[in-house]
Structure 1
Amino acid sequence: MNATSPGYIDLQVNGYGGVDFNGDEVSAESLHAACERLTEDGVSKILATIITADVQAMSRKLARIAAIRQQDPLVAKVIAGLHIEGPFINEQTGYVGAHPRDAVRPADVESMQRLLDAAEGLARIVTLAPERDPNFQVTRMLAGQGICVSGGHCNPSLDQLDGAIDAGLSMFTHLGNGCPLSMHRHDNIIQRALSRSRNLHIGLIADGVHVPWPALGNSIRCAGVERCFIVTDAISAAGLGPGHYQLGEREVVVDSDGATWAADRSHLVGSSGTMPQVAANLKHHLHLSDEDVTRLTVTNPQQILSL
């Protein structure tokens, strides 16, 4: 981004520059420092993302960020809102991803309202599994309040996906991730989501690790640039290089290629990427135009925030 360009907008940031947004005791000073680092990297707005834990712990973390934001103009400027990812996701291996299985649960209106109350009006996106939302009650509840409902870490049938869309589902979180390495070659959640991309905004992680470049390019071509947006899914390791980091209670190992692994190397946990790296990747590996890169990293996510 040059000085006259609009800043990047990242709708899924779990941490940045050594700061874990999912830590129990994230401080005002550390959150301010993370926002300074984001600004230096050309990012104008993010959604701070809180992932699955028990509802009480998630509520505490959401309330902490909301409280700091009220007191710090820079944090308020950079953190446009909150993305609640879980706990209403699919608990099966692969689909649960890096989320703690013991905290995953079916969706219910009372628990969702507790999380919204803790977020103090800042919830902008909630990622859930449609098949874990009985009668799509929580989806309807959120859509009725103008909150974007996104499918993710899920495996709904096509009928369930259509039912969720009818109830207000309008987005899909990091397509190609939050699903097993081995699935049916044709009948899988990636294909189902892409088949409904006229009705869904499709989120993608563009680091070349989470989704190989040919698959990422295919998804963008299938859904269309106008329906896609790019996130980093950044954790505290973002911009810092190899080492050991935290995401909530989990230890994360970043290797020499920038891949962010669980301590046992069984699966990826977030990303160490930054939006400038993402933009360079899209140009270099997918040969996208500057206009298309801007649509994916600025224009489209801004439109989602404005819905």
Structure 2
Amino acid sequence: MIVNRMESSETPAAGYVDLQVNGYGGVDFNGDDLSAESLHLACERLAADGVAQILATIITADVHSMSRRLQRIATLRGQDELAAKIIAGFHIEGPFINEQPGYVGAHPRDAVRPAETTSMQRLLDAAEGLTRIVTLAPERDPGFHVTRMLAEQNICVSGGHCDPSLDQLDAAIDAGLAMFTHLGNGCPLSMHRHDNIIQRVLSRSSKLWIGLIADGVHVPWPALGNYIRSAGIERCFIVTDAISAAGLGPGRYQLGQREVVVDHDGATWAADRSHLVGSSGTMPQVAVNLQRHLGLPHDAVMRLTAATPQRILAAC
């Protein structure tokens, strides 16, 4: 039965918490020309949409470029009271992910590399202690040295854009892996129907926080509902994976060096329409979608979009 209490996208009293935001309201966090004015504008628009906190997400590029972008946002955040309030820290997604087609997703394949501690520390230093989540591929972390390094610093290690075997996934969990990034995405359209990364992660959901994109484009609604039921709502949280197009409608936008085309359904495509690149969704839209398409009651929606991500932030 559909519950209609949130058709007006009621905002939670404490605000939404979004752990994966690449940009917002025309502002690209992965752009090299990010200005203080642009960052402030993005934070104003997030606040207007009822978002209390986000993790600014920096995606795969060469380590020098990623470091420069992290440093720039860290510096601008320190000079802006609103940005410091809204941006709780960083989610570094890559470059230590699986380079194979499908798994690499929208990340530039030529910048993907195996995990190693020197480059990871360089990124952490550039982020000035603000790193809260790092997404990597467990099978690309030899000996799980980076996973252990991050876990020892109380940084949440998340699997994503990856295809570890079940043994590798278990070993990564033992080393400190605590989360999985946007389950159902960052993987090929065609996989083994039983032995695949989605099923492996769901089988270990009692040990992992499970992130999901709830825009109806990245994961169809029936599948999203199945994932939440299988993992248990207490282990799941919702992200927008928003890019600069968030809240703006159809058009052409940027995510780093990539052009993104947003169609009339809100889907965010690479310029050649070969794959999705982030999302144009907002948290108020997500809240209505979860209620309208999955029939979730208000308290369940608030758990997924506010309470659980806030709990994760408090722990990392």
Q: Scaled by the length of structure 1, what TM-score is found?
A: 0.99
Q: How does 1:28-47 map to 2 (within 5 A)?
A: 28-47=36-55
**Aligned partner of 2:57 among 49, 53, 57:** 49
Report the counterpart of residue 6 of structure 2 in structure 1.
Answer: none
Alignment pair present for 1:91 and 2:99: yes
Query: In the alignment, is residue 155 of structure 1 matched against residue 163 of structure 2?
Result: yes
For the Cα contact (< 8 Å) 2:158–2:177, is it kept in 1? yes
Secondary structure in 1 matching 2:83: helix
**Out of 139, 143, 149, which is 1:135 matched to?**
143
- Any idea what SS the aligned residue of 1:220 has? helix
User: Counterpart of 1:198 in 2: which secondary structure?
Assistant: helix
The match for 1:290 is 298
% identical aligned pairs: 80
Distance 2:10 2:75 in 1: 32
Q: Supply the AA of the counterpart residue of 1:304.
A: I
Aligned-partner Cα distance in 2 for 1:167–1:24: 34
In the alignment, is the contact (CA less than 8 A) between 2:260 and 2:268 conserved in 1?
yes
Q: Say whether the 8 Å CA contact 2:12–2:302 is kept in structure 1.
A: no
Provide the rounded CA distance (Å) in 2 between the counterparts of 1:199 and 1:105. Answer: 27
RMSD: 0.8
Q: Which residue number in structure 2 is paired with residue 255 of structure 1?
A: 263
CA–CA distance in 2 between the matches of 1:154 and 1:286?
27
Following the alignment from structure 1 to structure 2, what is the Cα–Cα distance between the partners of residues 16 and 134?
35
Shift, 1:4, TM fit = 6.8
Match of residue 62 from structure 1 = 70
1:240 aligns with 2:248: yes
* Per-residue deviation, 1:2: 4.9
Secondary structure of residue in 2 paired with 1:165: helix
Structure 1 outlier segments of 4+, above 6 Å: none
**Structure 1 position 6, deviation (Å):** 1.4
**Equivalent position of 1:230 in the other structure:** 238
Q: How many angstroms apart in 2 are the aligned matches of 1:126 and 1:278?
A: 24
- Distance, in Å, in 2 between the alignment partners of 1:126 and 1:24 is 21
Query: SS of 1:304's equivalent?
Result: helix
Match of 1:303 in 2: 311
Distance 1:304 1:172 in 2: 12
* Matched pairs, number: 307
Q: Deviations over 1:125-167 (max 9, x none)?
A: 0000000000000000000000000000000000000000000
- Alpha-carbon distance in structure 1 between the residues aligned to 2:164 and 2:280: 29
1:8-52: CA deviation from partner (whole Å, max 9, x where unpaired): 000000000000000011000000000000000000000000000
CA contact (8 A) 2:23 2:246 kept: yes
Shift in Å, 1:262: 0.1
Question: Any unmatched runs of 5+ in structure 2?
Answer: 1-8
Residue in 1 that maps onto 2:200: 192
Gaps (5+ residues) in structure 1?
A: none
Aligned to 2:121: 113
